[in-house]
Amino acid sequence: MIIQPRTRGFICLTAHPDGALQAVKNQIEYVKSKGKIKNGPKKVLVIGASTGFGLSSRIAAAFGSDAATIGVFFEKPASEGKMGTAGWYNSAAFEKEAHAAGLCAKSINGDAFSDDIKKQTIDLIKKDLGQVDLVVYSLASPRRTHPKTGVAYASVLKPIGQPFTNKTVDFHTGVVSDITINPVENDEDIANTIAVMGGEDWKFWIEDLKAAGVLAEGVKTVAYSYIGPELTFPIYRNGTIGQAKNDLEATVPVLNELLKDLHGVSYVSVNKALVTQSSSAIPVVPLYISLLYKVMKAKGTHEGTIEQMQRLFADRLYTENGDVALDSEGRIRIDDWEMAEDVQAEVAKYWDKVTTETLAEISDIDGYRKEFFNLFGFELEGVDYEKDTDENVKVPSIE
């Protein structure tokens, strides 16, 4: 079929398999251009491996360090004339390229929060890899069914305490307007968000993997967090999602204790704000990102998910002398270039000036829009979108 983008709000309902393949190939080329990661990971489990930071982590491990990878994700293949999801096509593309390069790559599609998917993953590790030496935890989800109690939690993106009013942009129309987001009405919204995006499931994974004996001596595990500028604090770091990130970060010492006898270590890496399916759903943040992109591109310090993950592996997690640089709170910071004083000062200056009228000139809204469509395999150079394409692409390792 001929596949065109079809959007509803910040969601794209369609995805293009050939475009996804091109996007994955572009990421692979970038990683190869940086050379091999010395002392990098060899057997890697990526939880949330199909899009965003997780996909780029998988590509950086495989093509930067010749790692065998198992990817876990929650995506849909095509069925009855409906196309598959972007993450499905990304994973099909990744496996195709990995296998062509002689790399072991297997995938599991299902709910990573469930005990069943954890068990399936452990069985697959036992069968194919024996043990893993790196576990990347990169889930982003609006809901989680608790595996022990069956309770279904839904996360919310709200401020805490008082309403938050700031500018936001509709990146399809370029209209900048004020938005007011009311705070949570009760602590339950906070607890629910922590239950979905906090550290409990990461802990469950590491506990189960350890109990099954599939974590290698010296194993590392890393999960991703965000801080960002003061102007997004009320909706992000000091909001409900920020409470979940605090919980995720507080899980690090718990996991370090758990991994002690294996001489294993856990980390949270604070990553840069980037266009992903998850971040486009947060109010205010897309306008910040479009100003940030403009400033960082002008300075030559802009990075996408693959540049971030390649740098995380090569310059943070797997350094030549084994040292891992941490901030005063014990976190890895690869948001360092985003948070640089000169960058933030310029973004703040533009933030005051940005309106519907000035948006095109002072922000990189075009870059934002293009990256958004790129996430779904659209608007990539070298792809013939007029050509009939087969939507029934399979992920080779999935029946």
Separation between Cα atoms, residue 268 and residue 221, nearest integer Å: 8
Count of CB atoms situated within 10 Å of the CB of 190: 20
For the CB of residue 54, give the shortest distance to ligand NAD in the complex, in Å.
Answer: 5
Contact mark string toward Na ion, 39..58, x via CB under 5 A: ---------x---xxx----
At its nearest, how many Å lie between ligand NAD and the CB of residue 279?
4
Alpha-carbon distance 79 to 120, whole Å? 24
Q: Does 14 bind ligand NAD (CB under 6 A)?
A: no
- Part in contact with ligand NAD (CB under 6 A); list of ranges 1-9, 14-22, 25-33, 44-52: 44-52
Closest separation in Å from C-beta 53 to ligand NAD = 4
The verdict on 54 binding ligand NAD (CB under 6 A) reads: yes
Q: Using CB under 6 A, pick the residue from 30, 74, 205, 267 that binds ligand NAD.
A: 74
Output the CA angle 181-184-190, nearest 5 degrees: 125
Told to judge if 224 belongs to the known catalytic residues of this protein, a careful annotator would answer: no
Separation of alpha carbons 195 and 188, rounded Å? 10
How far apart CA 302 and CA 339 sit, in angstroms, is 12
R_g of the chain, CA atoms, integer Å: 20
CA dihedral (327, 333, 337, 338) positive or negative: negative
CB of 118 to ligand NAD, least distance (A): 11
Does 138 bind Na ion (CB under 5 A)? Our answer is yes
As given in the structure block, the two tokens for residue 207 are 């506990």
Name which of residues 332 to 361 contact ligand NAD (CB under 6 A): none
- Residue from the set 21, 62, 112, 291 that interacts with ligand NAD by CB under 6 A: 112
Closer by beta carbon to ligand NAD, 87 or else 239: 87
From 19-27, 99-107, 275-283, 349-357, span contacting ligand NAD (CB under 6 A): 275-283
Stretch that binds ligand NAD, among 105-113, 151-159, 175-183, 255-263 (CB under 6 A): 105-113
For residue 308, give the 3-state DSSP assignment. helix
Burial of 341 (0-12, 13-18, 19+ CB in 10 A): exposed
Binding mask 80-99 for ligand NAD (x = CB under 6 A): -------x------------
Nearer to ligand NAD, 87 or 234 (CB): 87
d(CA 197, CA 143): 8
Residue 107 in the binding site for ligand NAD (CB under 6 A): no
Catalytic residue among 30, 153, 236, 288: 236
**Residue 275 structure tokens:** 């266009």
Rounded-to-integer distance, Cα 93 and Cα 20, Å: 7
Q: Determine the Cα–Cα distance for residues 332 and 314; give it in Å rounded to an integer.
A: 13
Distance CA 380, CA 370 (A): 9
DSSP letter at 82?
A: B
Q: Which stretch binds ligand NAD (CB under 6 A): 47-55, 149-157, 208-216, 316-324?
A: 47-55
**What separation in angstroms does the CA of 333 have from each of 120, 269, 309, 325?**
33, 6, 12, 8
Q: Is 305 in a helix, a strand, or coil?
A: helix
Binding ligand NAD by CB under 6 A: which of 30, 73, 205, 368? 73
Site for ligand NAD in 233-272 (CB under 6 A): 271
Catalytic residues: 236
List interacting residues with Na ion (CB under 5 A): 48, 52-54, 138
List interacting residues with ligand NAD (CB under 6 A): 48-54, 72-75, 87, 111-113, 138-141, 224-226, 271, 273-274, 276-279
